[in-house]
Amino acid sequence: MAIAQGSEFYEKRVRLPLPETQARHFLYGKSLLEKNGLRHYEVSNFSRKGFECRHNMNYWRGGDYIGLGAAAHSHLEGRRFWNHEEIEMYISLINGKGSAKKGEESLKGQKRFMESLLIGLRMVDGVNIKELEHWFKALLSEDNRTKIADLMKHGLLAKKTGRLRATTSGMVILDEICARLI
């Protein structure tokens, strides 16, 4: 976890706890929430069964969505695009051109496969790599197969019923795991 440069926390020189302390806090919070009937369904989300955030679940599963407003992002059939983040520019472009789109990228094949894999690891249920390979007509590289095997050996990832998922220990450092697989 990091504090973004330019943010209010950054300007106020807020310091984050050590990673070990953050991990303890995460595990304590997880335990407390689960004891009170909430189910851990995504790295940073808990809910009662049936009340999971549909927007987030759609996002983590690579679904389509439309973002409205300044800095909003959208995803349609493998094409991601985003609006200008400055509100004055956004309003000016909407009034003048009817669109405030700032940029876009096409996610195809291997790129979409890897993004779906990494985003899917955020879900407690994980991802089915064989399904992703079939959907995106792409294969997990031999290098990443080796890295995944190593992460499994260290108890950070696990495979159950064909689904690769982060363990509780892996959830604590999921950003680092994903960075290794990029």
22 and 72 co-located in one domain = no
**Mean pLDDT rounded to a whole number for the chain:** 92
Residue 8: inside a domain, yes or no?
no
Mean pLDDT value of segment 161-167: 94
- Is the Cβ–Cβ distance between 181 and 147 less than 8 Å? yes
> Which are the contacts of 171, defined by CB distance < 8 A and separation ≥ 6?
26, 43, 124
pLDDT of residue 1: 65
pLDDT per position as a tens digit, 133-161: 998 899 999 999 999 999 999 999 999 89
pLDDT per position as a tens digit, 43-90: 999 999 999 999 888 888 888 999 999 999 999 988 999 999 999 999
61 and 44 co-located in one domain = no
23 and 62 co-located in one domain = no
166 and 138 co-located in one domain = yes
Domain that holds residue 155: 109-181
Q: Tell me the pTM.
A: 0.79
Number of structural domains found in the chain: 3
Residue 7: inside a domain, yes or no?
no
- Is the Cβ–Cβ distance between 126 and 120 less than 8 Å? yes
The SS3 call for residue 89 is: helix
148 and 163 co-located in one domain = yes
